């Protein structure tokens, strides 16, 4: 999607998650069809160490079931619907979770798409950094040049750069001087921050070699405000409406 001088680029947060079950191939494909060039999704490991697209460590929210994904194998999980019926009704009730390998295959068929792959801390705590990072980076190899590996876990982000040479991004848990010093030492390609954790405008975002991505952005006015403070990207689940608003703004510009 072309960008104008007054607007940041849009990252589809867990795909087009406003309209489709999050972190599914359907949500990712919809975001691409709407014109998103940047996707974000979450990765956890199953009980048999298969990387899958999933935000939570359990199935309660997306499937209405109590099980931990760490206690289930991929053959079992692949057959469980994750259609978020409580949020979306029955429209996507039969949608299944994808493996990371399936997402890689999809990305390979979408020229010009960049994926921000968030490695979740729940899996790191369960299996250890070495196991999780090795499994994820191995599966991503065919499209690694079009991926940015991100995490809240600072040590994991450092290790990923050494292990596979991929571009990295650190997702901040806080926006304070301690985090700023850690970011300066790490010098990642990207920094991610929750909009609600930032100080009030008009304070500018920390300068550095990184590009900023601000998430939980839903509307054009907020996106413009983030750009004015130094953000290069905004991340949203409201993919359709924000892309449409940005496109209309550029036609008027």
Tokens linked to 21: 């079950």
pLDDT at position 251, please? Answer: 75
CA distances from 132 to 44, 72, 142, 151, 158 (A): 8, 16, 18, 12, 14
Q: Which of 2-11, 127-136, 180-189, 209-218 has the lowest mean pLDDT?
A: 2-11
Burial class of 248 by CB neighbour count within 10 A (0 to 12, 13 to 18, 19+): exposed
For residue 170, the tally of other CB atoms under 10 A from its CB is 25
Question: Would you call 63 helix, strand, or coil by DSSP?
Answer: helix
Whether residue 250 has pLDDT greater than 90: no
Tokens 């369960």 identify what position? 126
Q: For 48-60, what is each residue's pLDDT tens digit? A: 999 999 999 999 9
Strands 51-53, 38-45: pairing is antiparallel
Instruction: Please give the share of the chain, as a percent, with pLDDT higher than 70.
Output: 97
Residue 169 confidence (pLDDT): 98
pLDDT in tens, 113-171: 999 999 999 999 999 999 999 999 999 999 999 999 999 999 999 999 999 999 999 99
Any idea which residue has 């550029």 for tokens? 250
Sequence ranges of the domains in the chain: 9-252
Kindly tell me if the per-residue pLDDT of 4 is higher than 50.
Answer: no
Residue 39, CA distances (Å) to 93, 103, 163, 189, 226 in order: 23, 11, 23, 16, 19
Q: Is the predicted pLDDT of residue 2 greater than 70, yes or no?
A: no
Could you tell me the maximum CA-CA distance found in the chain, to the nearest angstrom? 53
Contacts by residues 24-28 (CB-CB < 8 Å, ≥ 24 positions apart) = 24/53, 24/82, 24/92, 24/95, 24/96, 24/97, 24/98, 25/98, 25/102, 25/103, 25/106, 26/92, 26/95, 28/103, 28/106
> pLDDT digit string (tens) for 7-59?
899 999 999 999 999 999 999 999 999 999 999 999 999 999 999 999 999 99
Across the chain, mean pLDDT equals 95
CATH number of 9-252: 3.20.20.190
Contact 28, 15 (CB under 8 A): yes
**pLDDT for the residue numbered 223:** 96
pLDDT of residue 6: 64
Q: For position 253, what pLDDT does the model report?
A: 60
What confidence tens digit (pLDDT) does each residue in 76-118 have? 999 999 999 999 999 999 999 999 999 999 999 999 999 999 9
Say how far apart CA 88 and CA 96 lie, in whole Å.
14
Whether residue 3 has pLDDT greater than 50: no
Q: Is the pLDDT of residue 5 over 60?
A: no
User: Residue 53 CB: number of other CB atoms within 10 A?
Assistant: 24
């Amino acid at each position: 999607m072309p960008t104008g001088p007054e607007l940041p680029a849009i990252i589809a947060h867990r795909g087009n998650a406003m309209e489709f079950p999050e972190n599914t191939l359907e949500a990712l494909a919809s975001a691409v069809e709407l014109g998103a060039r940047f996707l974000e999704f979450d990765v956890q490991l199953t009980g048999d160490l298969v990387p899958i697209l999933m935000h939570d460590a359990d199935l309660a929210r997306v499937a209405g079931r109590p099980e931990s994904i760490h206690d289930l194998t991929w053959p079992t999980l692949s057959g469980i619907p994750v259609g978020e019926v409580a949020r979306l009704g029955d429209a996507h009730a039969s949608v299944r979770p994808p493996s990371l390998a399936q997402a890689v295959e999809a990305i390979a068929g979408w020229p010009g798409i960049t994926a921000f792959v968030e490695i979740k801390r729940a899996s790191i705590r369960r299996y250890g950094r070495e196991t999780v990072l090795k499994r994820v980076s191995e599966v991503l190899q065919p499209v690694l040049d079009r991926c940015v590996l991100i995490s809240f876990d600072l040590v994991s982000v450092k290790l990923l750069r050494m292990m596979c040479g991929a571009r990295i991004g650190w997702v901040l848990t806080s926006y304070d001087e301690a985090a700023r010093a850690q970011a300066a030492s790490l010098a990642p390609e990207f920094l991610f921050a929750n909009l609600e954790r930032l100080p009030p405008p008009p304070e500018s975002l920390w300068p550095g070699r990184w590009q900023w991505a601000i998430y939980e952005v839903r509307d054009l006015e907020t996106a413009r405000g983030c750009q004015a403070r130094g953000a290069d990207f905004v991340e949203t689940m409201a993919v359709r409406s924000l892309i449409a608003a940005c496109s209309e703004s550029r036609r008027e510009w």
